Amino acid sequence: MKIGIVCYPTFGGSGVVATELGIALAKERHQVHFITYSQPTRFDFFNENLFYHEVDMMAYPLFQYAPYETALASKMVDVVKYEQLDILHVHYAIPHASAAFIAKQILKQQNIEIPVITTLHGTDITLVGKDPSFEPVVAFSINQSDGITSVSEDLRRDTYDHFKIEKEIRVIPNFVDLQKFKKLKKEHFKKAICPNDEKLIVHTSNFRPVKRIEDVVAVFQNVRSHIPVKLLLVGDGPERAKIESLCRECNDCDDIRFLGKLEAVEEVLSVADLFIMPSEKESFGLAALEAMACQVPVISSNAGGLPELNIHGHSGYLSNVGDINSMTKHALEILDEKNLPAFKKNALDRAKDFELSKILPKYENYYNEILDKKKRVEVV
């Protein structure tokens, strides 16, 4: 099958899922064409079935805001037509689903039918999509997609609750490649960060307010008043300067390290004892799944799709958003040497439920289902 994948190519979870999916499909001998504004971060090698088409943006003084959607739709038309794609799979509704709709209409006039699948990832619905400045176009373009998937049951419900969606939304959860995300031998790294055998807590995110990183710091401070512990913060974004000031004010600089954006997150996760994700909203929590795959138990909020991933009392614990006391209690329980080995094992066992090989066929079957449906409509 020839598949076009449209996504944000940077560090966000939706781009990671789209890129890993494309790479996995290419290994299954599908031909995959990425259409994005820059090379996806995790696609940095040669594979005969993988292609990358950069969206060209013409600079012009009149454009206060460059019309990316128009350039993207034009590139989609070009790639679908000349690479003879069978299907377009767009990740994150805004603006990919509406650009796909425009491309589809243009191609139709040239007698080219291209089925479009939109995968909803979270903030495209829960934060940005619901905003009145986007809502009508988001609802319209989701409805115009031939197939719709969401990464959790919760996001599916949320989408039906907030938009008038007339079609089935298929839940296909996110996945992790256990060949890549696994506990690596990095004892020297652990020794450098925790020279006195302190426990190590890790948080990774794009440092947006929705991630509630101040809660991570608060839980860490509480835990540190009971046991020796260090904190690694991985990622970057708008909240970083604020959180750095917070740590400086509390004289925590020796125990908290900011690592910035990291490509090989699995190396850091390999030496972690606990992962914290206290998000206000989280449709799935891919970063938590990657932690579990590296045998790291998770303390998370119970927002959005997190209860579908993190099993309370097994792979970690769930608490209400902002409940620092509950998160602290759970963190101490997990970090207790009597309990830690079992939690680590359970975290990996839970990650196995989302192993790439289990989820990939769900996407392939869905593509075939949508293509068959299209063919049946054409015959009628």
- Binding region for ligand GMT (CB under 6 A): 12-15, 17, 92, 121-123, 126, 151, 174, 206, 208, 210, 281-286
Torsion angle in degrees (nearest 10) through CA of 121, 150, 344, 338:
100
- Closest approach, Cβ 119 to ligand GMT, in A, equals 8
Q: How far is CA 115 from CA 86, 249, 369, in A?
A: 7, 54, 11
- Closest approach, Cβ 280 to ligand GMT, in A, equals 8
- Is the CB of 55 or the CB of 151 nearer to ligand GMT? 151
- Closest approach, Cβ 255 to ligand GMT, in A, equals 26
- Closest approach, Cβ 20 to ligand GMT, in A, equals 10
- Is the CB of 24 or the CB of 194 nearer to ligand GMT? 24
- Closest approach, Cβ 127 to ligand GMT, in A, equals 7
Whole-angstrom distance, CA of residue 17 vs CA of residue 22 = 9
- Closest approach, Cβ 14 to ligand GMT, in A, equals 3
Torsion angle in degrees (nearest 10) through CA of 213, 204, 297, 8:
120
* Cα torsion angle, 250, 195, 181, 317, sign: negative
Angle between helix axes 213-224 and 240-249 (nearest 10 degrees) is 20
Cβ(320)–Cβ(326) below 8 Å? yes
- Is the CB of 279 or the CB of 295 nearer to ligand GMT? 279
Whole-angstrom distance, CA of residue 247 vs CA of residue 252 = 5
- Closest approach, Cβ 42 to ligand GMT, in A, equals 13
- Is the CB of 231 or the CB of 289 nearer to ligand GMT? 289
- Is the CB of 211 or the CB of 230 nearer to ligand GMT? 211
- Closest approach, Cβ 300 to ligand GMT, in A, equals 11
Burial class (CB in 10 A: 0-12, 13-18, 19+), 353: middle
- Is the CB of 152 or the CB of 221 nearer to ligand GMT? 152
Sheet of strand 298-301: strand arrangement: 256-260, 229-234, 199-204, 274-277, 298-301, 316-319
- Closest approach, Cβ 309 to ligand GMT, in A, equals 9
- Is the CB of 206 or the CB of 346 nearer to ligand GMT? 206
- Is the CB of 177 or the CB of 333 nearer to ligand GMT? 177
Burial class (CB in 10 A: 0-12, 13-18, 19+), 15: buried
Peptide bond into 173 cis (omega under 30): no
- Is the CB of 275 or the CB of 284 nearer to ligand GMT? 284
Q: What are phi and psi of 190, to 5 degrees?
A: -65, -40
Strands 298-301 and 274-277: parallel
Q: How many Cα atoms are found within 13 Å in the side-chain-facing hemisphere of 109? A: 6
Nearest to 144 by CA among 75, 206, 96, 209: 96
- Closest approach, Cβ 122 to ligand GMT, in A, equals 2
- Is the CB of 35 or the CB of 114 nearer to ligand GMT? 35
